[in-house]
């Protein structure tokens, strides 16, 4: 689980998950090294991941002041309980509905929560972070943000793409993939993660990219893509074309049975 300091004020905690037949899905968390340090999402909760120990390579967990949870899907909440315990001064930046969803598993003390809706901003010492709803998402509570000092966009699931290998998924640069391959992978991810794009009105859908077009971030950081520098316009064009896309349909039971039959028996 490599940690990349991609800018003086940004670390990427890179991870990935292999999905048979699809590829390697990057699963990133981030640290924004502002005067009030911000952790953005908390990775996978698999037993061997040890989120806190990885985080401690770049920031003392006790110094973390904000945990920006872009949405409470399990690939974003792996280290959350451990981090809340290790960072007594940290508040969880999230939404009212996300708190409700999380309360189904482990209720959050409300004095540890900071509710922030799209359009609102958070002051982290030397800059503000302005929340927005990314154009594509798989959870209704999803909130990404723009760093108002540097322009960097944290886009949550939006712009994700399966990668051909784990080392590519955990690399520092989405431009490592040829443009056409990246485009195909991002549309594939859109068809998996946001199957509702099949039903959207193309014009209204395109309008939902207006903030990204206006702010034109030089760097886009998605949970499910290596850091994407200097290709925002191209990526917006890719996802802007997703209206009407056919949803991904996974293998059915017959396909699973065929796959299992192909495995060599193990054991005595
Ligand atoms: Fe998600
Ligand atoms: Fe996700």
Domain ranges in the chain are 3-260
The reported pTM is 0.96
State pLDDT tens for residues 2-15.
Answer: 999 999 999 999 99
Which ligand ends up closest to the CA of 44? 2
Q: Which two tokens stand for residue 106?
A: 């482990």
Distances (CA, A) of 83 to 55, 102, 107: 9, 15, 15
State pLDDT tens for residues 214-244.
Answer: 999 999 999 999 999 999 999 999 999 999 9
Which ligand ends up closest to the CA of 17? 2
Which residues lie near ion ligand 1 (Cβ < 5 Å)? Answer: 73, 138-139, 157
Which residues lie near ion ligand 2 (Cβ < 5 Å)? Answer: 75, 157, 223
The separation between the first and the last C-alpha atoms of the chain, rounded to the nearest angstrom, is 34
How many CB atoms are closer than 10 A to CB 184?
A: 15
What's the DSSP call for residue 70?
S
| Mean pLDDT of each 10-residue bin along the chain, 268 residues long | 96 96 96 98 95 98 98 96 97 97 90 98 98 98 98 98 98 97 98 98 98 98 98 98 97 92 70
**Domain 3-260 class, CATH top level:** alpha beta
CA of 43 relative to ligand 2 center, distance in Å? 9
CA of 268 relative to ligand 1 center, distance in Å? 41
CA of 218 relative to ligand 1 center, distance in Å? 24
Supply the pLDDT for residue 259: 86
């Amino acid at each position: 689980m490599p940690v990349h300091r991609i800018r003086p004020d940004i670390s990427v905690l890179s991870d990935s998950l292999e999905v048979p037949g699809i590829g390697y899905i990057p699963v990133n968390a981030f640290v924004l090294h502002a005067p009030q340090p911000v952790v953005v999402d908390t990775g996978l909760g698999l037993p061997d991941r040890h989120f806190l120990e990885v985080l401690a390579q770049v920031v003392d967990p006790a110094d973390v002041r904000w945990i920006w949870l872009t949405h409470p899907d399990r690939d974003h909440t792996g280290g959350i309980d451990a981090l809340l315990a290790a960072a007594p001064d940290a508040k969880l930046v999230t939404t009212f509905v996300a708190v409700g969803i999380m309360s189904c598993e482990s209720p959050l003390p409300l004095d540890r929560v900071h509710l922030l809706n799209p359009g609102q901003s958070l002051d982290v010492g030397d800059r503000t972070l302005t929340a927005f709803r990314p154009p594509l998402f798989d959870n209704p509570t999803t909130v990404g943000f723009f760093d108002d000092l540097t322009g960097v966009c944290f886009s949550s699931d939006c712009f994700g793409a399966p990668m051909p290998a784990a080392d590519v998924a955990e690399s520092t640069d989405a431009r490592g993939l040829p443009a056409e391959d990246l485009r195909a992978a991002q549309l594939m991810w859109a068809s998996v993660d946001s199957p509702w794009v099949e039903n959207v009105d193309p014009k209204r859908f395109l309008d939902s990219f207006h903030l990204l077009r206006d702010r034109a971030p030089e760097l886009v950081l998605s949970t499910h893509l290596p850091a994407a520098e200097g290709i925002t316009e191209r990526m917006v064009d890719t996802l802007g074309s997703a209206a009407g896309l056919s949803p991904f349909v996974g293998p059915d039971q017959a396909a699973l049975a065929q796959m299992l039959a192909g495995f060599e028996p193990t054991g005595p």
